[in-house]
Amino acid sequence: MKQEIKLPEIADNVVSGFLARILVKVGDVIEKDQSIIEIETDKAATDIPAPFGGKIVDIKVHAGDEIRVGQTILIVEGVKDVKVPEQNATVRDGVPAFAGMTTLLPASPPQLLSSSAPHLSSAFVPASPSVRRFARDLGLDINRIKGTGPGGRISDDDVKAHAREVIQSPKSTQFAGYAEVPDFSKWGPVDYQPMSRIRTITAESTVNSWQTIPQVVQFEKADITELEKFRLMSKAVVEKAGGKLTMTAILLKLSAMALRQFPKFNASVDMKNKQIVFKNYINIGIAVDTEQGLLVPVVQDVDKKSLTELSVELNGIAGRARNRKLTSEEMQGGNFTISNLGGIGGTSFTPIVYPNQVAILGVSKSAIEPVYLDGEFVPRTLLPLSLSYDHRLIDGADGARFLVWMCKVLEQPFLTWL
Ligand code: CAO
């Protein structure tokens, strides 16, 4: 009696797979559960076992084929043990799998092979999971790689050859140029203005940051009711010294303390050398809004200066920024930045981390709000803060701890003296 062996279900919603190897040949006498073919999907390489034994009289598939569930693989004669249609399925990590199945993703969660897993398309690319992973690790699209193996199968060497092509292509070493914008005058009158140097630098630096730094923003409101009283009381002293005791000056002082307390925030990520650069000095950039655009001068050695000294220096650099009198040294070497938009308004915003820094503190406008304290609502002055940080180095819990610490000190500044 002749009997067909068909491709059984491999996993939920996987409708087909790539035939990597045929493990038997016509004339072989196979036993039930003997592996007959090796099939690969996006997530796993699987040996398909024979559901019954017998002599192989025909093989209906070829290496390199995409075969679908239910498609005939072999014809077997002299069939033994025909009542075993489930093909020795086992369950691994909650996922139905066959004996001999190799899950290629370490500690793969069950859903990887479940209904959320992508279906293999009819345009299935013949490449083993390890080759796919290799291409993915190099940032290459497997669909663009030409396979030189049987049936166009892609090997490691094909991936390497494609990588060499990409690296050597002029496009990868030369900037391809910005995209053309449409002719807006088709829809109404327009004026053209050349982009200033400051605008160009801001555009390039923010794009650099956006493309290279995975950013997360943490929000918090600090109760600065008591601090505001202190600020207003102490204003005159600072004014005598030629400064202005504003929230920015206070945050400068406080940020220096926070950077000492949380050194990760005073660091840079060096991906090229796979290292973190921890800095032992504390220089903080201050975003200054000028008529020409945004400038970010840097206050050096903030931790070594008093609040009065910082207020005077802040006044000086903000003035020089607005009068275009900053030196290039004053624009360099920042480890962290403060961007205070509270003098203008707004309840919150998400500042962008500067390249080569790992965090920036955004400050919005303080306002009196009702706060539930000791069983009643009382009016308190709250300062909204937003901390954007580089998730390559700083985890969510680090970000939350940093901002909570800052808020506590803003609420009770004397805590830092204890
Ligand atoms: N909430 C409420 N009021 C605030 C405040 C806040 N967060 N921050 C400042 N103010 C008040 C100040 O107390 C001051 O009030 P008075 O004139 O009544 O004293 C007023 O707003 C103006 O402050 P200032 O701008 O003179 O002083 P500052 O030291 O607080 O800020 C500077 C200096 C340079 C940070 C600010 O002038 C500036 O340029 N901010 C814009 C920053 C910016 O553009 N950021 C976006 C960059 S992109 O991320």
Q: 157 and 53 share a domain?
A: no
Q: DSSP secondary-structure letter at 17?
A: E
Q: Is 238 in the pocket of ligand 1 (CB under 6 A)?
A: no
Q: Please, which pLDDT band fits residue 13 given cuts at 50, 70 and 90?
A: low
Tell me the CA distances in angstroms from 14 to 18, 41, 121, 220, one per residue in order: 11, 8, 10, 46
Report the nearest-CA residue for atom 34 of ligand 1: 288
Statement: residue 292 has pLDDT above 60: yes
- Residues linked to residue 83 through DSSP beta bridges, in sequence order: none
More confident call, 281 vs 18: 281
Q: Would residue 189 count as lying in a domain?
A: no
Q: How far is the CA of 219 from the centre of ligand 1 (A)?
A: 19
Q: Is 215 in the pocket of ligand 1 (CB under 6 A)?
A: no
pLDDT at 170: 55
Domains held by the chain: number: 3
Q: 273 and 401 share a domain?
A: yes
Q: Please, which pLDDT band fits residue 149 given cuts at 50, 70 and 90?
A: confident
Mean pLDDT, range 230-252, rounded to an integer:
95
Statement: residue 119 has pLDDT above 80: no
Q: 172 and 258 share a domain?
A: no
Q: Would residue 198 count as lying in a domain?
A: no
Q: Is 310 in the pocket of ligand 1 (CB under 6 A)?
A: no
- Measured CA to CA, the distance from residue 336 to residue 284 in angstroms comes to 5
Q: 278 and 338 share a domain?
A: yes
Pocket test for ligand 1, best of 232, 246, 296 (most atoms within 8 A of CB): 246
pLDDT at 196: 87
More confident call, 324 vs 236: 236
- Residues linked to residue 35 through DSSP beta bridges, in sequence order: 49
Check the CA dihedral 306-309-312-316 and report its sign. negative
Q: How far is the CA of 95 from the centre of ligand 1 (A)?
A: 57
- pLDDT tens figures, 68-88: 889 999 999 987 655 444 443
Integer-rounded Cα radius of gyration of the chain: 32
Share of the chain above pLDDT 90, in %: 59
3-state secondary structure of 196: coil
pTM over 0.75: no
Q: Is 294 in the pocket of ligand 1 (CB under 6 A)?
A: yes
Lowest average pLDDT, out of 62-76, 281-295, 352-366, goes to 62-76
Q: Catalytic amino acids?
A: 391
Q: Would residue 231 count as lying in a domain?
A: yes
Q: Please, which pLDDT band fits residue 98 given cuts at 50, 70 and 90?
A: very low
Q: Is 342 in the pocket of ligand 1 (CB under 6 A)?
A: yes
- Measured CA to CA, the distance from residue 66 to residue 119 in angstroms comes to 13
More confident call, 81 vs 187: 187
CATH number of the domain within which 347 lies: 3.30.559.10
- pLDDT tens figures, 205-221: 999 999 999 999 999 99
Are 93 and 72 in contact by the 8 Å Cβ rule? The answer is no
CATH number of the domain within which 146 lies: 4.10.320.10
Q: Is 235 in the pocket of ligand 1 (CB under 6 A)?
A: no
pLDDT at 316: 96
Beta strand ranges found along 157-263 (DSSP E)? 215-223
Q: 47 and 17 share a domain?
A: yes
Report the nearest-CA residue for atom 49 of ligand 1: 351
Q: 62 and 101 share a domain?
A: yes
Tell me the CA distances in angstroms from 260 to 3, 264, 267, 339, 398, one per residue in order: 75, 9, 11, 20, 14
Q: Would residue 190 count as lying in a domain?
A: no
Report the nearest-CA residue for atom 17 of ligand 1: 343
